[in-house]
Amino acid sequence: MFKVRSLGGIALLALATSGCGLAAAAPQQDTRLPADPTRIEFVDPANISGLAPRTLSGGDDLTRRVRINYPELSGATALNKKLRGDAERRLRAFRENARGVPGAELNVDWELVAAGDVVGVRLRAGRSLTAGRDHATTTFWYDTSTRRALDSIDLLNGDGALDEVARLVRAGLENRGPVVDREQVMPGRARFDSMAFNASGDLVVEFDDCEIAPCSLGRLAVAIPADQASPLLSETGRRAQRDVRRHGQRVAVKRPETAPSPAPAAISNRAGTVDCAKTKCVALTFEDGPGPETGKLLDALREADARATFFVMGSSAVGEPELLRRMAAEGHLIGNHSYQHRDLARLPSSKIAHAFTRTEEVVVAATGARPTLARAPYGSVSTEVRNVARAQGLALVDSDVDPADWRDRDSAAIADRVVERAHPGAIVRLHDTQRATVAAVPDILERLAGKGYTFVTVPELYGSGGMKAGDLYKSGSAPARKQPLT
């Protein structure tokens, strides 16, 4: 069912390892990573067919900073239902907990930890509700032969096996010192909600931040050696372990040892064929995608001979290389909208840089070209964001026409707001993840074309001067008006 797309073109994506929470504990121990048995290798989703990234985001002010990403796998109905249900539960919980907490944020990202007969989806949630941010992982499993979706403890052969795993984990934590509360390692579905296998087949049991130790320690994980784990596994667990051992290396995501060579060409941010100094131009921009509606949107744009700029979110783009290639092939411009849609202005420079490079790697792997435009999620730009953008060769693009299309699901209202507010040189902010927005696009294109507008990519608004990395652009200028005769 989940076919490996190609065994050749694997190496370009680099989603695993550093910065992704897979260190054994605190970041200062990262130097031990290469030999760290708790490190799980991820399967590159670009190599798996029948997989589509999905996003659940908030539809009101309270949940505006919620982005829950999860994959949908064709034919895996039970797993899709479980993942969707989990996303909805997280959104509801956030809605209750975030009331009265200004700037509360929730991002959930996913990785595949197995993609053979048995599929493993590891969700990593980052939540800012108070001063700090905490991370929690959950790993769900799907058995393609029984078509059942499972929790992590279903990898184990019943309660006796779970008791034994808990005992082995407590033993494995002994050398971590008294800061780890081993009493908290109680057998149970919630506590053992994230288990997977490393490439050697060891069972990796991981705990959330703050779950069994002070939050400052971050992720804690224990690897139970394969020979000790094997007798404790259920039938599904044994097949998952075998899959990861057999195929893990083959389709695992590898960080290239050196930068790909030759360096990918930067996507031009200079003007195209339209001279917006003489023509009424408008730049439609779509962010957060690709999503389930993006293909339809591309059809509508092609129909109207319109070009647009897509600020793609890395976590949505990662399973959609064909859509990215189609965007590029049909004359649209791909920009960078970070990886997980976090508020970048609240992050240190290293994490801002990581959010951009991780997305860049996804775009480069699909299209061979590097984006030169970026849009910060929520338009939230700090000095650090600008400095990182400058260093990474990214011009920052905001918008001056924002119909807040995420707020309602009324296509007619969205179209009206865009058409009323559009002006020559406008940068319009839309979301291709919203069905109502995509449904509004044919109407927007027709009505604005009727007013004489040409639809261009963002750099075309700025003509031959181009755009400068690190600068922030909100609007192009209107074409020069002819002086009235006196």
Q: Which is nearer to Ni ion, 298 or 344 (CB)?
A: 344
Give the residues across from 369 on adjacent strands. Answer: 265
In 10 A of CB 174, how many CB atoms? 9
Instruction: Rule CB under 5 A: say whether 360 interacts with Ni ion.
Output: no
Q: How many residues bind Ni ion (CB under 5 A)?
A: 3
Question: Beta-strand (E) ranges in 10-59?
Answer: 51-57
Instruction: Rule CB under 5 A: say whether 432 interacts with Ni ion.
Output: no
Here the tokens at position 459 are 């750099």
Amino acid at 382: S
Question: Beta-strand (E) ranges in 367-473?
Answer: 369-370, 373-374, 395-397, 426-431, 454-455, 472-473
Q: Which is nearer to Ni ion, 140 or 406 (CB)?
A: 406
Instruction: Rule CB under 5 A: say whether 288 interacts with Ni ion.
Output: yes
Nearest approach in angstroms of CB 337 to Ni ion is: 6
* Per-residue x/- track, 135-154, Ni ion (CB under 5 A): --------------------
Give the residues across from 138 on adjacent strands. Answer: 123
In 10 A of CB 161, how many CB atoms? 19
477: alpha, beta or left? (left if phi > 0; alpha if psi -120 to 50): beta
Q: Which is nearer to Ni ion, 105 or 287 (CB)?
A: 287
* DSSP collapsed to 3 states, 349-383: HHHHHHHHHHHHHHHHHHHCEECCEECCHHHCCCH
Nearest approach in angstroms of CB 405 to Ni ion is: 11
- Residue span binding Ni ion (CB under 5 A) among the ranges 52-60, 192-200, 282-290, 476-484: 282-290
Q: Name the residue among 226, 253, 224 with its Cα closest to residue 242.
A: 226
Q: Which is nearer to Ni ion, 287 or 432 (CB)?
A: 287
Q: Which is nearer to Ni ion, 37 or 377 (CB)?
A: 377
Cα 373 to its chain centre, rounded Å, is: 18
- Residue span binding Ni ion (CB under 5 A) among the ranges 34-42, 160-168, 239-247, 286-294: 286-294
Nearest approach in angstroms of CB 317 to Ni ion is: 13
Element (H, E) at 112: strand 105-115
322: alpha, beta or left? (left if phi > 0; alpha if psi -120 to 50): alpha
Q: Which is nearer to Ni ion, 151 or 400 (CB)?
A: 400
Nearest approach in angstroms of CB 440 to Ni ion is: 17
Q: Which is nearer to Ni ion, 243 or 288 (CB)?
A: 288
Residues 6 or more apart whose Cβ sits within 8 Å of residue 208 = 134, 135, 136, 137, 194, 219
Instruction: Rule CB under 5 A: say whether 105 interacts with Ni ion.
Output: no
Nearest approach in angstroms of CB 288 to Ni ion is: 4
Q: Which is nearer to Ni ion, 316 or 392 (CB)?
A: 316
Here the tokens at position 372 are 């030169």
- Residue span binding Ni ion (CB under 5 A) among the ranges 85-93, 146-154, 185-193, 284-292: 284-292
Q: How far apart are CA 147 and CA 75, in angstroms?
A: 9
Q: What one-character DSSP code corresponds to residue 309?
A: E
Nearest approach in angstroms of CB 402 to Ni ion is: 11
Nearest approach in angstroms of CB 316 to Ni ion is: 10
Q: How far apart are CA 444 and CA 483, in angstroms?
A: 30
Q: Which is nearer to Ni ion, 164 or 432 (CB)?
A: 432
* Per-residue x/- track, 372-411, Ni ion (CB under 5 A): -----x----------------------------------
Nearest approach in angstroms of CB 113 to Ni ion is: 27
Q: Which is nearer to Ni ion, 371 or 377 (CB)?
A: 377
* Per-residue x/- track, 231-270, Ni ion (CB under 5 A): ----------------------------------------
Instruction: Rule CB under 5 A: say whether 287 interacts with Ni ion.
Output: yes
In sequence order, what DSSP letters do the residues of 233-252 get, joined into one string? B-HHHHHHHHHHHHHHHHHB
Q: Which is nearer to Ni ion, 180 or 397 (CB)?
A: 397
Nearest approach in angstroms of CB 68 to Ni ion is: 14
- Interface residues with Ni ion (CB under 5 A) are 287-288, 377
